[in-house]
Structure 1
């Protein structure tokens, strides 16, 4: 194991952003990523995808946003009349129906977040070219915060679910925006997996140019490990050894989400008015109805996204908080649970997207009408609060009580 030394020619040391362990900052070879040997958090990516490629993808996404959001993504023939729906229509219908918070949440996750993410990346490239520090700082901050809230992939799946649910009562045809959405989703996934904020800040000022003899704190914005201080020496963001009040904020969000989970599952999430009958469905009864209609695959998707995932997030985060509070449990397992929650968290939005699509296409007056139920508001609150709880939790707190030799620098190459 290589010994630590503070000479000028010593291998660069970096603190893991996942657990705080000092590790050797090794640049991986092509195709091989570098991970923390203790918590498994990715430290750097293999290969060297060009930043100009990121810019090209972002600009293509911005062009695809125009047809994706301007034209209908679906047409239906219902009760002798043709109707169509677009992404913006769904959020607007929720707002018009009196569900303003749900409409804003749907609009933000399906429209505002992905567009702003691409614009922020373009801003980063302009800032690097023009040597504009404030622009790079704003752009990277927006990208870091909006990755979680960009949910075009979830919206695409929700279109599929809505189409299958409507297939029994209407004739469905694909609109031109759906093809743009599919291309947009492919490019968005590629863009999010390629973008490394560390690389942008390395182009601004390389980490090796900072001759730090001791590194005690890691900047979560530009990923520079450095001595303790009030502000980052590279990006000038406020420095914190750990996220301020992380446990308190996460616990508060989690308790509020747990309370909201009860009405979200008890109250009707959707109401269908047909032939003078009022058919109310909770999340669970909706799943049963899909099973009775032989729509097993859609029932499984809804059950997992709307019941399993929210409960799993609350239980998983509660388990992690318990382990941090009482310094118990398997820390590797807790870290894996946290990483899984980060990945699956956004899929709880699926049912809300389905509701917005159904509201756009099935609102035909007295013969057939669809409106959200009060359970939809509670469910939207659960989704929002659990996402905030995940973002507010500092995973390094899981490892703070370990007695391992965290002061020893280890190789991150696998």
Structure 2
């Protein structure tokens, strides 16, 4: 028999970034995605999406920023006076009213983060073409860090809620900017789901060019599994088996969020002057008033997004941290499911802040109606940011520390392959 007949296929072993389990990806068919059999983290994204498609989507999104941000998305007509709402006008109104913290949060999540992600994709393509290592490195790092802060879908939901709240006070008309926002959300969602940092680094230098006998650490930036070292051999980012001070940072963010959630729910989050009356609403009283006005669906959305979700994030991350210190290690998969759920629902808590910014720019301040945020909104914004930072700072590999070597060997041979 020839040498080729005896030759075994090269094993593509990759360390799972969620639990650091070595998994053999050699038999993964083209177009399929591989998931870790132990923690469920995606190891390999299937499909053959061309990188040029990402560039086309990024440029389309950049062009859509013009109508979506500069044109009004909602007009209201109140006793013969027309008021228009744009994203910049809502941000400016928050600054005028003395709430620059909320203005920065709205600007970052609705404008800066999506714009930076699109620019970083364009930068990555230019870097690949020109072979600029540093531009590629920083562009991919930027897109990887900021894509979780893109919240245009939450902003669109906030527009709908604001319209329901104002329908009893004024006539509401949809304007050009809303169509731009909807198109921008569709295209940027397509872009984010297609972005794969690993594929860009594979185009720069394929994983097959490295021949490692042993792999002990996984780079979370370019997703190259490699031997121990201080820096990644491909992207030159620092390597860590665990994020430095992950537990301490997560506890700090979590405790701060727990402290902030009390004023966020007890202090009024919005103040409305109408017909000579001053109406102060906390999150819970606002939900109750919506139910009284017959808007049970909107009340349920706000109750879930503004009360249930922040509390669930704090409790979920807290339970994971407590189990790391004191709990049994036989519920690791459940803890990973909690972590994935907390990470996914995190951004929806910012909906109330978006509603406030939209109401600020639509309501006729100082004449017929007067709307302003309450100081509870600042505390609520702090809860949103702190819980998201707590999720990002936590290293899920800590959940799997202490697993026996026999279990590890058993799991190495397993695979989950999905479409």
TM-score by length of 1: 0.96
1:148-227 alignment, distance < 5 Å: 148-227=148-227
SS of the residue aligned with 2:148? coil
Matched, 1:260 2:263: no
1:3 — aligned with what? none
Which residue of structure 2 aligns with residue 412 of structure 1? Answer: 415
Q: Which runs of 5+ in 2 are unaligned?
A: 1-6
Cα distance per residue 1:141-165 (max 9 Å; x no partner): 0011001111011001000000111
1:295 is aligned to: 295
State the match for 1:230 in structure 2.
230
Alpha-carbon shift at residue 25 of structure 1 (Å): 2.6
Q: Deviations over 1:8-64 (max 9, x none)?
A: 964021100111100013474455321000000111122111111111111111110
Match of 2:309 in 1: 309
Whether contact under 8 Å (2:10, 2:26) holds in the other structure is no
Q: Closer, same or farther in 2 for the Cα pair 1:205/1:412, shift >3 Å?
A: farther
Q: Distance in 2 between matches of 1:26 and 1:292?
A: 60
Work out the CA distance in 2 between the residues paired with 1:152 and 1:30.
Answer: 33
Q: Deviations over 1:167-195 (max 9, x none)?
A: 11010000101001111111111111111
CA distance in 2, matches of 1:370, 1:224: 52
Q: Does 1:333 align with 2:334?
A: yes
* Change in CA separation of 1:27 and 1:148 when aligned onto 2, cut-off 3 Å: farther
- Is 1:93 aligned with 2:96? no
Whether the aligned pair in 2 keeps the contact of 1:28 and 1:47 (CA below 8 Å) is no
SS of the residue 1:221 aligns to: coil
CA contact (8 A) 2:320 2:335 kept: yes
1: CA distance, partners of 2:200 / 2:111: 25
Tell me how far 1:88 sits from its aligned partner.
Answer: 1.3
Q: 1:125 and 2:125 equivalent?
A: yes
CA distance in 1, matches of 2:79, 2:19: 58
Distance in 2 (CA, whole Å) between partners of 1:244 and 1:149 is: 22
- Check the 8 A contact 1:215/1:226 in 2, yes or no: yes
Distance 1:328 1:190 in 2: 40
Instruction: Find the residue that maps to 1:147 and give its secondary structure.
Output: helix
The match for 2:66 is 66
Q: In 1, distance between residues paired with 2:30 and 2:80?
A: 58
Structure 1: state its 5+ residue gaps.
Answer: 1-6
Instruction: Indicate the SS of the match to 1:238.
Output: coil
Tell me which residue corresponds to 1:395: 396
For the Cα contact (< 8 Å) 1:218–1:224, is it kept in 2? Answer: yes
Distance in 2 between residues matched to 1:50 and 1:328, nearest whole Å? 45
Contact 1:267–1:374 (CA<8 Å) still a contact in 2? yes
Between the aligned partners of 1:109 and 1:89, the Cα distance in structure 2 is 15
> Is the Cα contact below 8 Å between 1:276 and 1:367 reproduced in 2?
no
Residue 328 of structure 1 deviates from its aligned partner by 2.0
- What is aligned with 1:39? 39
Q: Which runs of at least 4 in structure 1 moved beyond 6 Å after TM superposition?
A: none
Total equivalences in the alignment:
408
Residue 4 of structure 1 aligns with which residue?
A: none
